[in-house]
Amino acid sequence: MNFDYTERIIELQKKLTSFFEEYILPIEGEVNAFLYNPDNRWKPWPGMEDLKEKAKTAGLWNLFLPKSYGDLSPGLSNLEYAPLAEIMGRILWSSEIFNCNAPDTGNMEVLAKYGSPEQQKQWLNPLMEGTIRSAFLMTEPQVASSDATNIETTITPEGDDYLINGTKWWSSGGMNPACKIAIVMGKTDPKAPRHQQQSMILVPMDNPGVKVTRPLSVFGFNDSPEGHAEIELENVRVPKENLILGEGRGFEIAQGRLGPGRIHHCMRLIGMAQRSLELMSRRATERSTFGKTFKDYSSIRQEIAQSQCEIEQARLLTLSAADKMDKLGNKASKDLIAMIKIVAPNMALKVIDRAIQIRGGMGVGPDTPLAHFYAAARVLRLADGPDEVHMYQLGKSVIRKHSGNH
Ligand SMILES: Cc1cc2nc3c(=O)[nH]c(=O)nc-3n(C[C@H](O)[C@H](O)[C@H](O)COP(=O)(O)OP(=O)(O)OC[C@H]3O[C@@H](n4cnc5c(N)ncnc54)[C@H](O)[C@@H]3O)c2cc1C
Calculate helix-pair angle for 387-402, 334-359, nearest 10 degrees.
140
With the most atoms of ligand 1 within 8 angstroms of its CB, the residue from 136, 138, 140, 145 to mutate is: 145
In this predicted structure, what is the pLDDT of residue 256? 78
The 10s digit of each residue's pLDDT in 105-152 is 999 999 999 999 999 999 999 999 999 999 999 999 999 999 999 999
In this predicted structure, what is the pLDDT of residue 258? 75
Please state the domain extents for the chain. Answer: 7-101+124-129, 133-247, 251-402
Is it the case that residue 49 has pLDDT exceeding 70?
yes
Q: Are 375 and 92 in contact (CB under 8 A)?
A: no
Phi, psi at 266, each rounded to 5°: -65, -40
Give residue 242's identity as a one-letter amino acid code: N
Query: Percent of the chain beyond pLDDT 90?
Result: 92
For the chain, the average pLDDT equals 96
The finding on whether 138 has its CB within 6 A of some atom of ligand 1 is yes
Cis? peptide before 177, omega within 30° of 0: no
CATH code given to domain 133-247: 2.40.110.10
The 10s digit of each residue's pLDDT in 63-113 is 998 876 777 888 899 999 999 999 999 999 999 999 999 999 999 999 999
Q: What is the DSSP letter of 4?
A: P
Q: Tell me which residue of 37, 243, 74 sits closest to 157, measured CA to CA.
A: 243
DSSP three-state, residue 130: coil
The finding on whether 362 has its CB within 6 A of some atom of ligand 1 is no
Identify the band that residue 34 occupies on the pLDDT scale cut at 50, 70 and 90. very high
C-alpha to C-alpha distance for 27 and 20, rounded to whole angstroms: 10
**CA Rg, the chain, in Å?**
22
The finding on whether 172 has its CB within 6 A of some atom of ligand 1 is yes
For 114, residues 6+ apart whose C-beta sits below 8 A from its C-beta are 244, 245, 249, 253, 256
Q: Which fold has domain 251-402?
A: Butyryl-CoA Dehydrogenase, subunit A; domain 3 (1.20.140)
The 10s digit of each residue's pLDDT in 330-387 is 889 999 999 999 999 999 999 999 999 999 999 999 999 999 999 999 999 999 999 9
2 CA distance to ligand 1 middle (Å): 35
CATH code given to domain 7-101+124-129: 1.10.540.10
C-alpha to C-alpha distance for 201 and 207, rounded to whole angstroms: 13
